[in-house]
Amino acid sequence: MAHDSTDNPDDRARKPLPDTAAVIPAETPPDLDPATSGGDDEDDARLPDILEESGAVGEATLATGHEAIERAVRLAPTSPGVYRMLNANADVLYVGKAKNVKKRLSSYARQNAPQPARILRMIAATVTVEIVSTNTETEALLLEANLIKQLRPRFNVQLRDDKSFPYILITGDHWAPQILKHRGAQSRPGRYFGPFASAGAVNRTITALQRAFLIRSCTDSFFESRTRPCLLHQIRRCAGPCTREIDFGGYTTLVREASDFLSGKSHAVKQELAGEMEKASGELEFERAALYRDRLAALSAIQSQQGINPRTVDEADVFAIHQEGGFSCVEVFFFRTGQNWGNRAYFPRAEKTFTPEEVLGSFLAQFYDDKPPPRNILLSHEIEESELLANALSLKAGHKIEVTTPKRGEKKELVTHALTNAREALGRKLADTATQSRLLDAIATTLGLPHSPKRIEVYDNSHIQGTNAVGAMIVAGPDGFVKNQYRKFNIKSEEITPGDDFAMMREVLERRFKRLINPPEEGAAKTKDDDFPQWPDLVIIDGGRGQLNAVREIFANLGLTQVSLMSVAKGPDRDAGRETLFMPDREAIKLEPRDPVLYFIQRLRDEAHRFVIGSHRKLRKKDIREAGLQEIPGIGPSRKRALLHHFGTLKEIERASIGDLGKVPGVSAESARRIFEYFHPQPG
């Protein structure tokens, strides 16, 4: 879907709600309505066990939960709104919406009504209920979805991995528009095309579009500084407007053709190019004909990579859900301008008792909370409130949205294809989860841990002769790497001797665990994923017995006795597979090179190294940009001006090879080597 930045659907979507709701983002999970959800006799028989599982014993009971809800019922409005159930720690347990809030809460307060186990657990843990009134049920749905995404209540369906989608932007604030990948707020003037399922899909499409339409991808500052065409022009991926290799009219035509292609007019664009190719060939201008031939081939490459390109579906998102083994997978396909712009699998967090329809309905409201919806949304399962959802999304988008479950034809085929992908993706997820679980059990056995670790933290640090020192922590759990838990630590202490790895590790660990021991404020140690433990079962550091003893001393000073500790020493000549593992008060552990546990530990260490090196490089590049080129020995004002005149920006100088640097007037081979090594150091 293409649109101009001056007419952003997201801006229209965010209709003002009551002030009390402004800080509450959420989404509505399947309605936990005791009056309609039913129950079974086993729930009543297992009530003590259910309450114990909920953590309610000792802090609340079913009776006190009913009492808290009854108090809320007396004050609840009979109009639409959103309600939040909170426990004794003021944690939000559940966010729900209702057309009649008083009636909905009354259904929870019926003490003799049969209710599912999950609702009994929720009621038992509830000590207070907060209510926000809205003008309509549609507004309540939007607010509920927003709140669920922000608060992540444990009894709601939770959408995870909610990062933004990339778009293609053809800028509109320069006489020679630029094509680039874009994420985030669509504030820059121009035309946006998307969403695409992944950054890789965008990058491949942009590369093919450059070959097909020769639109520049360089920054405006680089563009303005050029005195001769760059390499992209020489390899026929840019028309060279910077040095007037093409005139304004010709470049405008290329931009129009690219916009038409992304807007769905691909057939007309290809016909136009084919006609120009035949014309050039007829005039014996074979070089120009070859250029059109290559552009046509690039367009065909884009369409061949897209796989399915429906004939009757111009703009739609296709959702299919598959459940197995207590897990759910929602597969999403994006179709815009009749083209397949990729797909992505989601694994929402939901209790096993939720039906596919309930999970899908809650997922959709959260999914479109911060995304512009297409005109058609195709589903594999009929959801209960499809009409209400369509009205809510239409309100957000400013135009009519249809939510349907197709029964026949090409739309049904698209849904079936998405369902097949959902089934396969969940199968891979379950296999990976089982493998990860076996690895965690194996590492517990190998290291003699009291139980399989639920949270593993790995620490590493990086610097160059003590400068730009940074430490990092990566986290792994039963589902693999937990990237929203990663942390980096810029070393702040001025008392640390440059290059003192022990002192740097001490600062990192003290900052990390002091924050856990003494959170700065109520709930500060919590993250978006409340179910994931915050205290590690195992801490791994890079180093030998000396590093282990140093960290052991730090833990002792902090009073940490329940956290297992291990260090990993590199093998001779730093060979992977010959590492030695050290643990306190134990002999060194040597595992066989093909041991899965050793491979798992190597992956953890390598991920920590990758993350800390990336953090170090970002910090160093920031310092380099602030300092310019003055710090490089032998590079004075004249050479600096020559480098900037030749490459345009400091970023392009960073990217340049030694050979390219040596081509700059006044820069010798030795100076080129020093410049290259300055921007590409080898971290210690």
**666: domain CATH number?**
1.10.150.20
Whether 116 is in a domain gets the answer yes
pLDDT at 33: 38
Q: At what angle do helices 101-109 and 62-75 cross, to 10 degrees?
A: 160
- Nearest partner of 1 among 167, 170, 200, 163, judged by Cα: 167
- Nearest partner of 18 among 135, 137, 104, judged by Cα: 135
Both 587 and 673 in one domain: the answer is: no
Both 64 and 98 in one domain: the answer is: yes
- Nearest partner of 415 among 384, 383, 378, 361, judged by Cα: 378
pLDDT at 284: 80
pTM across the whole model: 0.65
Q: Is the peptide bond before 195 cis (omega within 30 degrees of 0)?
A: yes
Q: How far apart are CA 154 and CA 15, in angstroms?
A: 27
Both 176 and 146 in one domain: the answer is: no
Confidence label for 680 from pLDDT (cuts 50, 70 and 90): confident
pLDDT above 80 for 684:
no
Comparing 118 with 306, which gets the higher pLDDT? 118
Residue 98: enclosing H or E segment and its boundaries? strand 92-98
Q: Angle CA(200)–CA(601)–CA(162) in degrees, nearest 5?
A: 35
pLDDT at 572: 63
3-state helix, strand, coil in the chain (%, to 5): 45, 15, 35
pLDDT at 502: 78
Q: How far is CA 319 from CA 241, 247, 291, 403, 467, in A?
A: 42, 46, 40, 11, 49
pLDDT at 545: 86
Whether 436 is in a domain gets the answer no
Whether 527 is in a domain gets the answer no
Which range is least confidently modeled, 277-286, 331-340, 346-355, 657-666? Answer: 277-286
| Cβ-based neighbour number of residue 216 at 10 Å | 29
Both 393 and 275 in one domain: the answer is: no
And the tokens for 598? 């050793």
Read off the pLDDT of each residue in 202-227 and give the average, rounded to a whole number: 83
pLDDT at 403: 92
And the tokens for 547? 């590093």
pLDDT at 24: 30
pLDDT in tens, 143-170: 888 898 888 888 888 887 656 788 889 9
And the tokens for 75? 């004050």
Residues 6+ apart with CB under 8 A from 299: 208, 212, 261, 266, 269, 270, 273
DSSP output for 141-179: HHHHHHHHHHH--TTS-B----PPPPEEEEESSSSS--E
What phi, psi does 282 have (nearest 5°)? -65, -30
| Cβ-based neighbour number of residue 26 at 10 Å | 30
Both 569 and 461 in one domain: the answer is: yes
pLDDT at 330: 93
pLDDT at 419: 92
Domain end: 597, 618, 639, which one?
A: 618
Whether 432 is in a domain gets the answer no
Both 605 and 462 in one domain: the answer is: yes
Mode of pairing for the β-strands spanning 538-542 and 564-569: parallel
Read off the pLDDT of each residue in 320-336 and give the average, rounded to a whole number: 88
Whether 440 is in a domain gets the answer no
Q: How far apart are CA 255 and CA 308, in angstroms?
A: 26
Domain end: 119, 151, 183, which one?
A: 151
Comparing 440 with 237, which gets the higher pLDDT? 440
Both 246 and 279 in one domain: the answer is: yes
Both 351 and 213 in one domain: the answer is: no
DSSP output for 612-661: HHHHHHHHHHHHHHHHTTTTSTT--HHHHHHHHHHHSSHHHHHH--HHHH
Q: How far apart are CA 66 and CA 62, in angstroms?
A: 6
pLDDT above 70 for 639:
yes
pLDDT in tens, 364-400: 988 888 788 888 999 999 998 889 999 888 988 888 9
Confidence label for 304 from pLDDT (cuts 50, 70 and 90): low
**63: domain CATH number?**
3.40.1440.10
pLDDT above 70 for 599:
yes
Domain end: 94, 121, 151, which one?
A: 151
pLDDT at 640: 76
Whether 241 is in a domain gets the answer yes
Burial class (CB in 10 A: 0-12, 13-18, 19+), 317: buried
pLDDT above 80 for 77:
yes
Both 470 and 597 in one domain: the answer is: yes
pLDDT at 55: 45
Which amino acid is residue 330, in one-letter code? V
Helix (H, G, I), strand (E, B) or coil at 518: coil
Burial class (CB in 10 A: 0-12, 13-18, 19+), 638: exposed
CA dihedral 644, 646, 648, 653 (to 10 degrees): -70
Confidence label for 523 from pLDDT (cuts 50, 70 and 90): very low
Comparing 176 with 26, which gets the higher pLDDT? 176
Residue 581: enclosing H or E segment and its boundaries? strand 580-582
State how many domains the chain has. 5
Which domain does 494 fall in, by range?
A: 456-522+533-618
Both 65 and 184 in one domain: the answer is: no
pLDDT at 114: 75
First to last CA, the chain: 47
Which amino acid is residue 288, in one-letter code? R
Helix (H, G, I), strand (E, B) or coil at 589: strand
**482: domain CATH number?**
3.30.420.340
Both 389 and 421 in one domain: the answer is: yes
> What are the start-end ranges of the H helices in 88-234?
101-109, 117-125, 137-151, 199-213, 220-225, 231-234
pLDDT at 22: 32
Which range is least confidently modeled, 462-476, 507-521, 531-545? Answer: 462-476
Read off the pLDDT of each residue in 449-474 and give the average, rounded to a whole number: 81
Read off the pLDDT of each residue in 403-421 and give the average, rounded to a whole number: 90
Whether 200 is in a domain gets the answer yes
| Cβ-based neighbour number of residue 136 at 10 Å | 15
pLDDT in tens, 16-74: 333 333 333 333 333 333 333 333 444 444 444 544 444 444 344 788 888 888 888 88
Both 192 and 287 in one domain: the answer is: yes
* Mean predicted lDDT score pLDDT of the chain: 78
Whether 444 is in a domain gets the answer no
**Beta strand spans in 396-436 (E):** 402-404
pLDDT above 90 for 488:
no
State percent of the chain over pLDDT 90: 11
